[in-house]
Amino acid sequence: MSDPSKQSRDDFPYRMSIPTRWGDNDMLGHVNNVLFYRYFEAVVVRFQMQEAGVDWINDRISPQAVETMCRFHRPLSFPETVEAGLKVERIGNSSVTFAVALFGEGHKTPAATGHFIHVFVDSETLKSRPIPAETRRAYEKFR
């Protein structure tokens, strides 16, 4: 894969705007590293609900986070609005890997890039289950 820090917004077919908040900044005046994952989570969960038909409240089989990773290329800072981008990087039998990037205002390349892996789990047995067919079809459209 090419250098993720050189990617552009166009590399990510699903995007959402996330306004930063005052409390996201730490004492160095930048968004704290932990909060980058809050933004990752926001774009992944919104995508899952709006595009992939996931209903965490009612579905017996639903995705759980098993691995996340982030590389920090540049700081983000309140009050800028972040644009989060997502694409489906890998579709397994029961797991899906999303590539995620966060773009700061006025920048063509990302402030951070990483991934978020969801595995579909039966909420009663806690065993992994195959990705439902409709959800899988939705993922194919965002590769």
Partner 1 sequence: MTQDPIETRDRYRHYLGIQTRWSDNDIYGHVNNVTYYSYFDTVVNCFLIAEGGLDIRDGGIIGVAVETMCRFRKPIAYPEAIEAGLRVGKLGNSSVRYEIGIFRAGEDEAAASGHFVHVFVDRDTNAPVPIPAPIREALERIKAEAPGNKGRSKR
Interacting residue ranges for partner 1, rule: CB under 8 A: 27-28, 32-35, 37-38, 41, 56, 64-72, 92, 95, 117
52 vs 112 by CB, closer to partner 1: 112
Backbone torsion region of residue 105, taken as left when φ is above 0, otherwise alpha when ψ lies between -120 and 50, otherwise beta: beta
Measured from the CB of residue 120, what is the shortest distance to partner 1 in angstroms? 13
- Tally the residues of the chain: 143
28 vs 133 by CB, closer to partner 1: 28
Residues 87 and 45: beta-carbon distance below 8 Å: no
Give dist(CA 100, CA 88) in Å, integer: 9
Measured from the CB of residue 109, what is the shortest distance to partner 1 in angstroms? 16
32 vs 77 by CB, closer to partner 1: 32
Measured from the CB of residue 69, what is the shortest distance to partner 1 in angstroms? 4
| Amino acid, single-letter form, for residue 82 | V
35 vs 52 by CB, closer to partner 1: 35
DSSP letters spanning 24-75: GB-TTSSB-HHHHHHHHHHHHHHHHHHTS---TTT-SEEEEEEEEEEEE-S-
Measured from the CB of residue 14, what is the shortest distance to partner 1 in angstroms? 20
